């Protein structure tokens, strides 16, 4: 399983993703706090609001640096777990993917800038400044 964080402002919710079309999907299962999208050949994606304290995941200075890259006063984090990079690219390339979100790929270049633009990607290379507690 692979994952990225989607970060939005206070208006973004699981409903923001649930309302999407998800072209090529074969099922959509919605619960209060998560949304699962199923595709053919056991491909999938799961959106889940990340309710843990993000600040607790970082060293103090690392979290401050991280927040400076986020343009939202009260950011909300969602973990998007996905079965393949193709599914991830398909989802963020959907015409109704929320425009008021950013994506944190944890410093990994997944080629998403070509799809949504580099300005919507968070530069969070953990190894570069050791901002995240392992």
The answer to whether the beta carbons of residues 6 and 81 sit under 8 Å apart is: no
Report pLDDT for 128.
42
Rg, Å, the chain Cα set:
15
What is the spatial distance between Cα 114 and Cα 98, in angstroms, rounded to a whole number? 16
Report pLDDT for 93.
96
Q: What is the pTM of this model?
A: 0.86
What is the spatial distance between Cα 69 and Cα 28, in angstroms, rounded to a whole number? 32
Confidence label for 53 from pLDDT (cuts 50, 70 and 90): confident
pLDDT tens for each residue of 22-45: 999 999 999 988 999 999 999 999
Confidence label for 124 from pLDDT (cuts 50, 70 and 90): low
The answer to whether the beta carbons of residues 43 and 84 sit under 8 Å apart is: yes
């Amino acid at each position: 399983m692979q994952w990225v964080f989607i970060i939005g402002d206070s208006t973004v919710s699981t409903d923001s993703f649930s309302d999407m079309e998800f072209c090529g999907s074969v099922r959509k299962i919605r619960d209060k706090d998560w949304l699962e999208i199923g595709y053919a050949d056991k491909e999938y994606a799961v959106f889940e609001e990340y309710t843990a304290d993000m600040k607790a995941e970082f060293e103090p200075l690392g979290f401050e640096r991280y927040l400076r890259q986020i343009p939202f006063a009260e950011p909300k984090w969602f973990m998007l777990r996905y079965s393949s990079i193709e599914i991830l690219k398909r989802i963020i390339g959907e015409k109704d993917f929320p425009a008021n979100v950013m994506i944190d790929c944890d410093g990994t270049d997944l080629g998403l800038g070509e799809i949504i633009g580099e300005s919507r990607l968070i530069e969070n290379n953990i190894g570069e400044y050791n901002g995240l507690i392992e």
